[in-house]
Structure 1
Amino acid sequence: MNTSPIDPNTCPVCGASNRCTLANPRTVGQACWCFTAAIDPAALEALPEEARGQACLCPQCAGVDAASRNAS
C-alpha cells in the first residue's frame, strides 16, 4: 500500500506539474485548463483509486495534448 501523500500540484500518473489553477493559491480564482478540455475517459479510469479527487492529471496524461496535435 502506498502511503505517500498525493500532491495536488502534480499529475498522479507521471509526476509532472498538472498546471491546475485551483491547486495553486496564486491562481485559484482563474478557470483551470481542464474546464474546457475534452479529457480522455480512459485516462480517468486508469487513475489509482487513492488519487481520484486528490490531484488532477497533466494535459499530456489526460490525452489533451495528443488530441490537440491530432486535430492540427
Structure 2
Amino acid sequence: MSDDTNRCPCCGQLNQCAQAGADAPVSECWCFSVSIDAEQLAKLPPEQRNRSCLCPRCAQGLPEPSAD
C-alpha cells in the first residue's frame, strides 16, 4: 500500500477520516466513535501501523463487497 494517509492501509480505499492530511487537530470524525477490529490491525505489517486510518469497512472487520 502507499503512504497516502487518505487511504486505508488494508484495502487502499479512501478512509474518510477527517484527520487524514489535516493541518490542525480535528474534533469530530467517524473513527472517534467506533471500535476498531483488533484482528484488522494485527494483519498490518509493522511499517504500516499508526500511519493512516482504516476505512469504515475494514475498521469493523467487514468483508469486501462481492463483485456479483
| TM-score under structure 2 length normalisation | 0.73
Match of residue 39 from structure 1: 36
- Work out whether residues 16 and 58 of structure 1, in 8 Å CA contact, stay in contact via their aligned partners in 2: yes
Paired residues of 1:21 and 1:28 also in contact (CA < 8 A): no
Match of 1:49 in 2: 46
Count of aligned pairs between the two proteins: 62
Distance (Å, rounded) in 1 between the aligned partners of 2:46 and 2:15: 18
Aligned partner of 2:17 among 20, 24, 33: 20
**2:2–2:9: 8 Å Cα contact kept in structure 1?**
no
Q: Which runs of 5 or more residues in structure 2 are unaligned?
A: 63-68
CA distance in 2, matches of 1:30, 1:24: 14
Q: TM-score, normalised by structure 1?
A: 0.70
How many Å apart are 1:5 and its aligned residue? 4.8
Q: Provide the secondary structure at the position in 1 that maps to 2:16.
A: coil
User: In the alignment, residue 49 of structure 1 is paired with which amino acid?
Assistant: P
What's the Cα RMSD here?
2.3
Cα offset, 1:46, TM superposition: 1.0
Please list every run of 5 or more consecutive structure 1 residues that lacks an aligned counterpart in the other structure. Answer: 67-72
- Pair member with larger Rg: 1
